[in-house]
Structure 1
Amino acid sequence: MRKKIWVLILIAFFATAFIAGCGTGEDGAADGDETHTIVGLYPLTGVLSTFGENSAEVAKLAAEDVNAWLESEGKAWQLRLEIDDTQTEGPVGLRKMQSWYGEGVKFFAGPMGSGVAQEMLSFANSNQIFYISPSSTSPALGIADDWLYRFCTDDSIQGPAIALAAQAADVESMIFCWRGDTWGDGLQGAAEATAIELGMTVYPEKLRYDPIKEDFTSEAALLDEYVTDLVNQGVPLEKIGFNLISFEEAAPFIAEAAKYDQLHEIAWIGSDGTAYSEAILQHPVASEFAAETKFINPMNRPAELSEQSNFDHVRDHIQEKLGRETDAYSYNTYDTIWAFALAFDEVGYDPVAVRDVLPEVIDEWSQVYGASGNIVLNEYGDRAFADYNYWILDENLEWVNPGYYDGATQTINWEWEIY
């Protein structure tokens, strides 16, 4: 009888060990699978959904390409990519990161907005979770030795691109309006500082709005009042510039502004948050107004490309999948997935080791294959250099690129004059 009891105990022990061995590994994959997991946290809904859709599709493409490469090289592991929706909201993004971390995931591609990236930062730093944003540009998030890297430059470079566009439009007085979050505050400050350096006056009343706002009736009315005040001070309409720093809530804002005749006569300048905006393009009033006013938007310009760059590969994929031109930050997303994968292949699924080798790994790989060109990171883990393309809607309501801002020389190179 005693012998029978011991046999039953041993059977139970080995059964338990077998079940545990088939459970979830430290990177969220089954132990039996040699798999490393990245979660793409993108705004599939909310006011950055156009950008989120692009990056989600590009991340899937990159993961497929990585796995094809791993197979061709006879590597002993595979990449697992999961996509989740931040809804363009910080608390949602943080909850998603916490949930996936609970399943063993230590690496994230995204988020896109600086407000969401900031919400995640403390948790990521406390738990050594490595995440790379393709598009977070707030200067406030340029922090040494943190766990957020960014494959775009911060807005200390985009700010001058905005102000130079206003100068090209012969603006003398600038009015600012922006979403009141980490990204908006940082970009507005950089744009205003450069505008002042260039000799423009900045209207003292400013329109800083709640990021969850959807109705802009009062803001459009106030803008009209500010323009009237400047005209009464002797500033001609054509010398007044308006900088709208927003995401896709720009569409209802512009639709409200279109109700005021004189707002059709001032210069409108946007930002990377509204370049390629599908919300503006699909809005019958906002699109016509944007085309009429030459609403100009700077957007990160891919660096010089090698013949083997994946730029066309990414661009053609989005054209086929979504039927539109993709945004510049989606090329950063493609390179992000490869950066993680190449680092995993070199040092394994270890955040400390990956963070140590990643700058060198992505610099070397991106010189030849980078969809966004060569990626050199600064001491904060952010992209060190970039130029900015300008995007406007033409008379056919298509986004076109009339020129770009050269960050090194701080000048605009026009393909054709728009002012």
Structure 2
Amino acid sequence: MRRKVPAIALITLAAVIFACGCTGTTTTEQAEVQENVVGVLLPLTGDFAESGAASRAAVEVAAGDINDYFASIGSDHRVRLVVEDTATDPAVALEKLKALDAQGIRMVIGPGCSAELEAVRAYADAHGILIVSTMSTAPSLAIPGDNIFRLVSPDTYQADAMAYYLEEEGIAAVVPVWRGDIWGDELRNLTTTAFKAQNGTVYDGVRYTPGQKDYAGTMADLDVQVGKAIAAHGQENVCVYAVTLNEIAPIMTRAAETQNLTGVRWYGCDGNVLLGTLATPGDAARFAAQTNFTGPTFWQQNLAAAHEATFQKIQNRLGRQPDGYSLASYDALWLLTLTGTQTASAETPKLKIALTKVSDTFAGPFCNVVGLNAAGDRSTVHYCFWSIKADGDGYRWVPDAQYDIWVAGTPPVFEAIGA
């Protein structure tokens, strides 16, 4: 049986000697406050900006909840966030990590996509910075012994879940379009392998460059390949598999102008599911609903009633439904807080030991880690498949199915939602 210990209970058990980052003292009218600073690297602009904004809302809510807790027990400790925008740019992410390092910050949540994490990993290892990632999923970044811990599942599992879902949907042929970086290349390749293992057909598809502005040529090439797939397999058995970030909106706007891309189903991934852009009336949302756009994102269904208020606070702060990455970010700040209570040392080796121990029992509101694997990644798997649907004059995301692996090495549990 999995043992779940609420975050509040864990904090109560620990001394409030919280060493998440650098510390300082400020004076209020009530008492001196011991300020604990946590760095947060997020893509607030660029191709991953929507997910970055969601994670920022979540960590800000978490900081408020943590500080409220400290106040309620009469502690003089408080957490303060230093948030930096990585612009979805690996080079910028590295420069922003160096800026946090210069401030003496030893614990960091972030950065955004896997390409950003790849760019900062060596620096974090060399300078003793502990990073908790809630948005990177590239399997090649699962490296035992480094200073990176990831609270979301690596894409080997997402690929298996996607292949399983496509088979359930009766898809026989997939034509991918994907972002040409470490994350996009790996997820496309993994999903191709998984789908072919189920006797599915995968066409070459089209790879595009991150930061690309015009997708007319990309969609023209994709349209030709989809036309060939339709001729060979029948329209109802063909789909487009889109491995993208926020650029899914301009991609879909261009796709709507083609001959074949409007007539097949489209499937997505954790980088483009639950985007507010696709729930906002416009050409992209209309195309997404027309093609029954569906994809998985890290998510655990059946949120406990006790945590619904926290979810609502994040949603209200963001102004739209948060994604799975943001919910993991909320829990990440609690996890770092709990880690800090286990040792008065800011030395990275001791903090890594503490974080690993805490994760063995950590059950946050949204992200039951319950142990990390040898590479510091989560060992359980949770994806919810969401579809974009027309809703009167607007559009909304609707949950379709849940895919879980509760214990590493056991078969997945797949359950339709609302069936």
**TM superposition score category, shorter chain reference:** 0.7 to 0.9
SS at match of 1:364: coil
2:358 maps to which of 348, 361, 367: 361
User: Paired residues, what number?
Assistant: 387
2:240 maps to which of 224, 239, 242: 242
CA contact (8 A) 1:303 1:373 kept: no
SS at match of 2:342: helix
Structure 1 segments of 4 or more deviating over 4 A?
A: 25-29, 303-308
Taking a change above 3 Å as real, the CA distance of residues 306 and 362 of structure 1, as seen in their structure-2 partners, is: farther
The one-letter code matched in structure 1 to 2:356 is P
CA contact (8 A) 1:169 1:267 kept: no
CA contact (8 A) 2:43 2:86 kept: yes
SS at match of 1:188: helix
Whole-angstrom distance in 2 between the partners of 1:195 and 1:217 = 28
Whole-angstrom distance in 2 between the partners of 1:112 and 1:376 = 23
The one of the two structures with greater contact order (alpha-carbon pairs below 8 A, sep at least 6) is: 2
Aligned to 1:22: none
Aligned to 1:318: 314
Q: What is the Cα deviation at residue 305 of structure 1?
A: 5.6
SS at match of 1:294: coil
Between Structure 1 and Structure 2, the one with more strand by share is 2
CA contact (8 A) 1:315 1:325 kept: no
Whole-angstrom distance in 1 between the partners of 2:401 and 2:286 = 21
Whole-angstrom distance in 2 between the partners of 1:273 and 1:103 = 31
Aligned to 1:409: 411
Aligned to 1:15: none
- 2:371 equivalent to 1:376: yes
C-alpha deviations, 1:165-203, integer Å up to 9, x for none?
222221111111110111111211211111001110111
Whole-angstrom distance in 2 between the partners of 1:34 and 1:411 = 45
SS at match of 2:390: coil
CA contact (8 A) 2:294 2:386 kept: yes
Taking a change above 3 Å as real, the CA distance of residues 26 and 414 of structure 1, as seen in their structure-2 partners, is: closer
CA contact (8 A) 2:20 2:340 kept: no
- 2:212 equivalent to 1:213: yes
Whole-angstrom distance in 2 between the partners of 1:210 and 1:148 = 27
Q: What is the Cα deviation at residue 411 of structure 1?
A: 5.6
Aligned to 1:296: 294
CA contact (8 A) 2:359 2:372 kept: no
The one-letter code matched in structure 1 to 2:224 is E
The one-letter code matched in structure 2 to 1:62 is A
- 2:344 equivalent to 1:342: no
List gaps (5 residues or longer) in structure 1: 1-24
TM-score when normalising by structure 1: 0.87
Aligned to 2:258: 260
Taking a change above 3 Å as real, the CA distance of residues 292 and 235 of structure 1, as seen in their structure-2 partners, is: same
The one-letter code matched in structure 2 to 1:319 is Q
Whole-angstrom distance in 2 between the partners of 1:26 and 1:270 = 36
List gaps (5 residues or longer) in structure 2: 1-18, 27-32
Question: Which shows bigger deviation, 372-381 or 214-223?
Answer: 372-381
Q: What is the Cα deviation at residue 34 of structure 1?
A: 2.9
The one-letter code matched in structure 1 to 2:325 is Y
Taking a change above 3 Å as real, the CA distance of residues 245 and 257 of structure 1, as seen in their structure-2 partners, is: same
SS at match of 2:145: coil
SS at match of 1:108: strand
RMSD over aligned Cα, in angstroms?
2.1
C-alpha deviations, 1:252-277, integer Å up to 9, x for none?
11111111232122121100111111
Whole-angstrom distance in 2 between the partners of 1:241 and 1:298 = 15
2:249 maps to which of 248, 251, 254: 251
Aligned to 1:126: 126
Between Structure 1 and Structure 2, the one with more helix by share is 1
Question: Which shows bigger deviation, 299-308 or 133-142?
Answer: 299-308
Q: What is the Cα deviation at residue 26 of structure 1?
A: 11
Q: What is the Cα deviation at residue 163 of structure 1?
A: 1.5
Q: What is the Cα deviation at residue 402 of structure 1?
A: 1.5
Whole-angstrom distance in 2 between the partners of 1:36 and 1:214 = 41
The one-letter code matched in structure 2 to 1:148 is I
SS at match of 1:347: coil
Whole-angstrom distance in 2 between the partners of 1:344 and 1:28 = 11
Q: What is the Cα deviation at residue 327 of structure 1?
A: 0.7
CA contact (8 A) 1:108 1:130 kept: yes
Q: What is the Cα deviation at residue 373 of structure 1?
A: 2.9
Q: What is the Cα deviation at residue 307 of structure 1?
A: 6.0
Structure (1 or 2) with the larger CA radius of gyration: 1
CA contact (8 A) 1:135 1:329 kept: yes
Q: What is the Cα deviation at residue 372 of structure 1?
A: 2.1
SS at match of 2:297: strand
SS at match of 2:249: helix
Q: What is the Cα deviation at residue 53 of structure 1?
A: 1.1
